[in-house]
């Protein structure tokens, strides 16, 4: 199942310059009803503790906190679909052989899917180690994305990802292929590494 109009947060480490780039996902929340950072962090912590992760592994709370900050900023900026409140988070600190994608329905506070996700062939082998915003680098890009339409790509049903962070993923040609949602990899590839 591919979820339209959700946010995909690609998280690996804190890059201090990343959080000071003047774009919607990384700007501080200023018009939210709770404008103090501690209030927002408390709200995010409450949401995290309320999520039903089911039998799957819980998402690292620090990664969730960063993802929710970006989600709330994008929502405040009017970049998200109000009908569906879905947050997708990839934790690139984990091996590509592990489930490292969480798709969370923020209305029901349930994990819709916890599965494998690929990274670009130039990003590393089992672990993602190098990232780029350069088109045709074959590397994954960090940052926040808003999903676009689905289309039939070279590898089947695909989902457009629109980078929201200038200088981090604005030049990225983002797409998700259905085969990675199903935990399959291309012939000659290791699971979680896109050879496309």
- Asked, for residue 183, whether it belongs to a domain, the answer is yes
Sorting pLDDT into bands at 50, 70 and 90, what band is 74? very high
State the Cα–Cα distance between residues 140 and 172, nearest whole angstrom.
8
In a domain, 133, yes or no: yes
How far apart are the C-alpha atoms of 173 and 140, rounded to whole Å? 9
What is the domain count for the chain?
1
Q: Does 97 or 196 have the greater pLDDT score?
A: 97
| Residue 10 confidence (pLDDT) above 50 | no
CA triplet 80, 155, 127: central angle to 5 degrees? 75
In the predicted model, what is the mean pLDDT of residues 87-91?
A: 92
Could you list the residue range(s) of the whole structural domain that residue 62 is in? Answer: 7-194
1 inside domain: no
Convert the pLDDT of each residue in 105-164 to its tens digit: 999 999 999 998 888 788 888 898 887 777 778 877 778 888 888 888 877 888 888 888
The pLDDT value given to residue 32: 41
Report whether 67 contacts 10 (CB < 8 A).
no
Contact 186, 195 (CB under 8 A): yes
Q: Is residue 49 part of a domain?
A: yes
The helix (run of H) or strand (run of E) holding residue 151 is strand 143-153
Write down how long the chain is: 196
- Work out the pLDDT band at 11, boundaries 50, 70, 90: very low
Residue 2 lies in a domain: no
């Amino acid at each position: 199942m591919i979820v339209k109009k959700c946010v995909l947060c690609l998280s690996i480490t804190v890059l201090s310059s990343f959080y000071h780039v003047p774009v919607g996902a990384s700007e501080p929340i200023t018009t939210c009803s709770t404008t103090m950072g501690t209030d927002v962090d408390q709200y995010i912590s409450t949401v995290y503790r309320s999520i039903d992760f089911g039998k799957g592994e819980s998402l690292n709370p620090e990664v969730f906190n960063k993802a929710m900050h970006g989600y709330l900023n994008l929502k405040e900026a009017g970049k998200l679909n109000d009908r569906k409140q879905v947050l997708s988070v990839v934790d690139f600190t984990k091996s590509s052989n592990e489930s490292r994608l969480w798709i969370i329905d923020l209305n029901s506070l349930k994990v819709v899917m916890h599965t494998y996700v690929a990274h670009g062939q130039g990003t590393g082998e089992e672990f993602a180690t190098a990232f780029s915003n350069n088109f045709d680098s074959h590397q994954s890009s960090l940052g926040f994305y808003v999903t676009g339409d689905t289309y039939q790509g070279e590898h089947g049903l695909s989902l457009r990802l629109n980078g929201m962070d200038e200088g981090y993923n604005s030049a990225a040609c983002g797409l998700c292929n259905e085969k990675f949602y199903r935990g399959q990899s291309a012939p000659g590839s290791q699971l979680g590494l896109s050879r496309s």
